[in-house]
Amino acid sequence: MRIAIVSDYFPDFVGGAQTSMREQRLALQAAGHHVVMVSAVRGGPGGRYRRTDDGLQVKPSFTLPGVQLPVIPNNPRTTKVLEEFLREHKIDVVHVQTEFGLAHAAATVAARMGIPVVHTVHTFYWASDGGWHAPLEPLIRGLLRRVIRWEIPRQPFTPRPVDNLLRNLTLSMAKRADVVVSPSAHQAKDLQSAGVAGPVRVVPNPITTSPAPSRPLGEVAEPRFLWVARCDTVKRPLEFAQGALDALERTGGGFSVDFVGDGTELPALKRLVGDRPEVRVHGALPHDRVLELMDESSAVVLSSLGFDNQPMTIAEAVSRDRGVLYADPKLKEGLQGAGYLAHSADPAGFADALVKLTKDPSILVRMSKNAATDAAEFSAQTYVSRILIAYVAAKR
């Protein structure tokens, strides 16, 4: 099958959606399928539309600061280039994985060409920082409408106006697709409740790839925890960091933590942890180095609450035979044996969990052992077999 994966995001920005798309592509290519990537690209030499050996890169009109979101309008020039590109590669399925201008442009072209559209929803649970932007919702809605050239519903999902707008934006794209893919069952249910009438299929994110074999956890003398995500409010790094600092006091520095990721909360995180030697704040790191830190860790931490649907953190952790300390009960999918749920999602809950795991590291060893079983849900082979069913359904 010949597939075009379409994303408005910069591929090199650290995030679960970007990691998932890379792994999807590798899994499909390994299975013998032709996969091209259509995505945003940062500035540099060359025109606005850059052909590569394996895809098409589009320079945004501008990039929203802070969130690093490229803005690519759905306009006649972009749709013309996309149509030429899809025809050239004889694309069978357009697989959009964002909800902004480039994704809508691809959906517009696909409809014109009679190509089925599959939409993976990486998050329906948009959440922003603070309420200062609430009065700007009408302006933002108008600008988004001009960028995507498609209607945005007005369903009341949340009292926060901009968050509600973004959730309706996601719904708008989902309703355009022939088949919607959700990496988690709980998000799939919410999408159907929101009014997605077409098929919604649950296809978990595929596992991360690495040439280095994974190593199950052996005896743990001093636990080492890895927090890796966008360092933004929705991922709640400060809540976990405060819990870690409290637990370090209670255990006499009995464990250590590595924080990996860039974002708006990074300066505050550095101020909070100060010069505590057990806490290392790395900022953004190459993916290979992240996997090395994962292998060096005793468990991975996922501190988000109500935002994620199926974080790549879970798939990556179990693929490396590591358990996951998490706080959101909805994220238990894929963590049947490898997860440890904090009793509460606040700093106190994280602190108690860290103290427990530090005082009884056999739990970490057991989580690592169970990860091998949980990993099967995220294997590349499982992903390919499930996503091909979605592609065939879309073609019908």
For the residues of 145-192, what is the DSSP string, one character each? Answer: HHHH-S------S-SSHHHHHHHHHHHHHHHHSSEEEESSHHHHHHHH
Is pTM, for the whole model, over 0.95? no
Can you read off the two tokens belonging to residue 65?
A: 């600061």
Question: 297 by DSSP, 3-state: which?
Answer: coil
pLDDT at 41: 92
Given a contact cutoff of 8 angstroms between Cβ atoms, the answer to whether 371 and 337 are in contact is: yes
Q: Between 3.30.450.40, 3.40.50.2000, 1.20.1070.10, 3.40.50.720, what CATH number should domain 224-377 receive? A: 3.40.50.2000
Tens digit of each residue's pLDDT (9 = 90 or more) over 320-367: 999 999 999 999 888 889 999 999 999 999 999 999 999 999 999 999
Q: Residue ranges of the chain with pLDDT lower than 70?
A: 14, 65-67, 129-132, 208
Domain with CATH 3.40.50.2000 in the chain: 2-206+379-395, 224-377
Given a contact cutoff of 8 angstroms between Cβ atoms, the answer to whether 281 and 273 are in contact is: yes
Pairing mode of beta strands 55-58, 49-52: antiparallel
Distance between CA atoms of 284 and 112, rounded to whole angstroms? 40
Can you read off the two tokens belonging to residue 190?
A: 């919410």
Query: Domain spanning 2-206+379-395 has what CATH number?
Result: 3.40.50.2000
C-alpha pair distances (Å), 152 with each of 67, 72, 106? 21, 17, 17
Tens digit of each residue's pLDDT (9 = 90 or more) over 114-155: 999 999 999 999 987 666 678 889 999 999 999 999 999 999
